[in-house]
Amino acid sequence: MADEDRGAGARPTEATPRATLAEVALLFLRLGFTAFGGPAAHVAIMETEIVRRRRWLSSERFLDLLGAANILPGPSSTELALFIGYEQAGWRGLLVGGACFILPAAIMVALLASAYVRFGTIPQVAGLLYGIRPVVIAVVGQALWSLAPKATKKSFRLAVLGVLAAVASALGVEALWVLVGGGVASILASQAATQKDVARSLHPSVLGVLAAAGASVAAPVSLIALFLTFLKIGAVVFGSGYVLLAFLRADLVDRLHWLTEPQLLDAVAIGQVTPGPVFTTATFIGYVVGARGGPWTAVGGAVLATVGIFLPGFLLVAVTRPLVARLRRSPVAGAFLDGVNVAALALMAVVTVQLAKTALVDVPTILIALVGVVALIRFKLNTTWLVVGGAALGVATHGLR
């Protein structure tokens, strides 16, 4: 891909060096092994590594790609990784960066699923979670502190829009509607200020990326049915891992009866405990469901469920990435992206508050979070070492309780 195409739509306010395919692969492979905490934490870690440490993207371009990832169905943090890989190394970066981010978690989840099928339980990881969760809060909080001023600097109305989006999310409004509402409200506010006609200037591609459809799969438990079910889920689910839980429950527990409620909760727990995308929950479910036909069917089920849930994201990013620059050049579409960006940050803020309620449970966890914030802001410590340190402290402290 030509350099001018890669940089189209990016502002020349910061240096944005092009990374090699090997650099993209190594970064996302490391994140695949160490990026704990779910989508909000993944976005925060990517902002730290890609914008502030490596300066591959400007903050503005990063926010544009984040906004685009948030309005596509599928795992938003994984799609952000795909966008970044595509930006830096073309379609090879899309494939290699995405695979390196997904595969470590998928392999770990498959191994845990194997132990689950064999022993009927999952390994105890309470100590690890106890120490890692406060670090996640610190990482996300630092990213919000860095990104929020850049997302709202154009006008005061964007700051107000972010507050309203946060309130809507806290009141239980669906994440998709918060994002779309933020974009539409930004357009209306922008056009009200400039007295332009919204209807004539709205680019059709803004609406096109919001459409998603899926058909129900009614079939016995087979590898093909498993693949098609997760392909449908990957094509229609918006939002966080908690939204994914609702889709999985409706399809796999209520309609298809492939899982029991406890099995589904165990699958989601494994997806949250391991690093990388929470959507590797599909790997666990594919293995457990496939194991009814034997060990090789279990492996096949894990592979096909993983491919099925992530494949729509790869296709959507490949199709929509060239549109991001065009959307940014259009005044109306640019206003839409501005609104989506602040709404996405508002969703991150609400998720952070919700996670903090379960992460900061006593004095040690609060101290771990505070040390993490200081290490990030004052010493710019690599997030990998923060996660390792938090895990070690968590195991040591939890063992003394």
What per-residue confidence (pLDDT) applies to 11?
42
Q: CA 205 from chain center: how many Å?
A: 23
Residue 180 Cα distances to 74, 98, 176, 344, angstroms: 16, 26, 6, 10
Mean pLDDT of all residues in 337-344 = 78
Asked if residue 277 has pLDDT above 60, the reply is: yes
Q: How confident is the model at residue 129 (pLDDT cuts 50, 70, 90)?
A: low
Name the residue with higher pLDDT: 307 or 267.
307
Q: How confident is the model at residue 5 (pLDDT cuts 50, 70, 90)?
A: very low
Residues sharing a CB contact under 8 Å with residue 19, sequence separation 6 or more, in sequence order: 27, 54, 56, 88, 89, 93
pLDDT, tens digit, 9 for 90 and up, residues 346-382 = 877 887 787 788 788 899 999 999 998 888 888 877 7
Asked if residue 122 has pLDDT above 70, the reply is: no
Angle in degrees, CA 381, 387, 388, rounded to 5: 100
DSSP 18: P
What per-residue confidence (pLDDT) applies to 207?
33
Asked if residue 98 has pLDDT above 90, the reply is: yes
Name the residue with higher pLDDT: 40 or 148.
148
Residues sharing a CB contact under 8 Å with residue 105, sequence separation 6 or more, in sequence order: 32, 274, 275, 276, 277, 280, 283
Q: N- to C-terminal Cα distance for the chain?
A: 55
pLDDT above 90 covers what percent of the chain? 28
Residue 99 Cα distances to 82, 94, 215, 228, angstroms: 9, 8, 27, 20
Q: Which of 99, 77, 76 is nearest to 24 (CA)?
A: 99
pLDDT, tens digit, 9 for 90 and up, residues 223-274 = 999 999 999 888 877 555 555 766 787 788 888 889 888 788 778 767 767 8
Mean pLDDT of all residues in 304-329 = 86
What average pLDDT does the structure give for the chain?
Answer: 79
Burial class (CB in 10 A: 0-12, 13-18, 19+), 139: buried
Q: Phi-psi category of 239—alpha, beta or left, where left has phi over 0 and alpha has psi -120 to 50?
A: left
pLDDT, tens digit, 9 for 90 and up, residues 180-229 = 888 899 888 887 766 544 444 434 433 333 333 333 333 347 899 999 99
Name the residue with higher pLDDT: 40 or 44.
44
What per-residue confidence (pLDDT) applies to 50?
92
String of DSSP letters for 246-262: HHHIIIIIIIS--S-HH
Q: Which of 263, 274, 254 is nearest to 107 (CA)?
A: 274
Q: Which of 379, 377, 382, 351 is nearest to 133 (CA)?
A: 351
Q: Which of 23-32, 171-180, 256-265 has the lowest mean pLDDT?
A: 171-180
What per-residue confidence (pLDDT) applies to 208?
36
DSSP 121: S
Residues sharing a CB contact under 8 Å with residue 181, sequence separation 6 or more, in sequence order: 165, 168, 173, 343
Residue 308 CA to residue 167 CA, distance in Å, equals: 34
What per-residue confidence (pLDDT) applies to 401?
65
Asked if residue 17 has pLDDT above 70, the reply is: no
Residue 43 CA to residue 11 CA, distance in Å, equals: 20
Q: How confident is the model at residue 400 (pLDDT cuts 50, 70, 90)?
A: low
What per-residue confidence (pLDDT) applies to 239?
52
